[in-house]
Amino acid sequence: MFIILFKLSLINGREKSYKIMLTKYYMDNQDKCPTCGKEGQKVANFTVQRFVQKEFRKYVVEDDFYLCMEAKCEVGYFNNEIEKIVLSKNLKRPLWYKEDAESRLICHCTKITEEDIIKTVIETDLKNMRHIMFYLKERFSNACGSMNPLGKCCVTTFNEVITKARRIKQNIHIQSELNPNLLDEIQPYLNLKENSVKVDINQLDKEIMIKEPTSTCGMSKEERKSSCC
């Protein structure tokens, strides 16, 4: 549920001074999660309102928040200045990086999951975000501000998963040399056949140009600068 910070009951009548001290600390550390102490990422109020469950939306009407990026922390959004927290379980969708996430949705616009990306990399050997996205969904989307809980493009996260997928693909061949963590990582994908699906990249690029000629979704900053759109 929604939590209001600093509702403290302290001994020796020191509640007021202690509250002021705590408030100053969090004002000086606005980007630090009050639960785990890790740095969060600032998110515009427009995005926060889209992700908070309806019954809690009245508490996040105007202010921007920070998103706690610590996997083990139960906090979703927080704002130390107005002393409020929204737990990740009270968001409309699970945060993909949290340990208790039921699903790991990477691209919120096209509903592409971590599993989708890893499976595609292993089976097709595609390594480019735009190729993978178009191969899976035959479209792009630029609704990151409202669809992604970070309020920005998923390109960084998407490419991190591609890197993870390529690591898994490589490690499948050296299972006897892996530590337990890496063995656990490859376990769900051992039944997949490498490069079992042939994809004509040139044809894929042609289809992208026909169906999505102006989209810059998934492009790097350099690619966007050189793009005609």
pLDDT of residue 153: 87
Question: Do 8 and 84 sit in the same domain of this protein?
Answer: yes
Name the domain boundary from 90, 124, 159: 90
Supply the range of the domain harboring residue 171: 105-221
pLDDT of residue 7: 37
Question: Do 113 and 85 sit in the same domain of this protein?
Answer: no
Q: What is the pLDDT of residues 196-221, one digit of tens each?
A: 999 999 999 999 999 988 888 877 66
Using the structure block, give the residue that is written with the tokens 């996040």: 60
pLDDT of residue 214: 83
Question: Do 148 and 211 sit in the same domain of this protein?
Answer: yes
Question: Do 86 and 170 sit in the same domain of this protein?
Answer: no
Count of C-beta atoms within a 10 Å radius of residue 108: 19
3-state secondary structure the chain: CCEECCCCCCHHHCHHHHHHHHHHHHHHCCCECCCCCCEEEEECHHHHHHHECHHHHHHHCCCCEEEECCCCCCEEEEECCCCEEEEHHHECCCCCCCCCCCCCEEECCCCEEHHHHHHHHHHHCCCCHHHHHHHHHCCCCCCHHHHCCCCCCCHHHHHHHHHHHHHHHHHHHHHHHCCHHHHHHHHHHCCCCCCCCCCCHHHHHHHHHHHCCCCCCCCCHHHHHHCCC
Residue 37 lies in a domain: yes
Name the domain boundary from 90, 122, 152: 90
Question: Do 132 and 171 sit in the same domain of this protein?
Answer: yes
Residue 154 lies in a domain: yes
pLDDT of residue 126: 96
Domains of the chain: total: 2
Question: Do 201 and 115 sit in the same domain of this protein?
Answer: yes
Using the structure block, give the residue that is written with the tokens 């427009």: 46
Question: Do 114 and 206 sit in the same domain of this protein?
Answer: yes
Residue 97 lies in a domain: no
Residue 229 lies in a domain: no
What does the pLDDT average to over 146-175?
Answer: 92
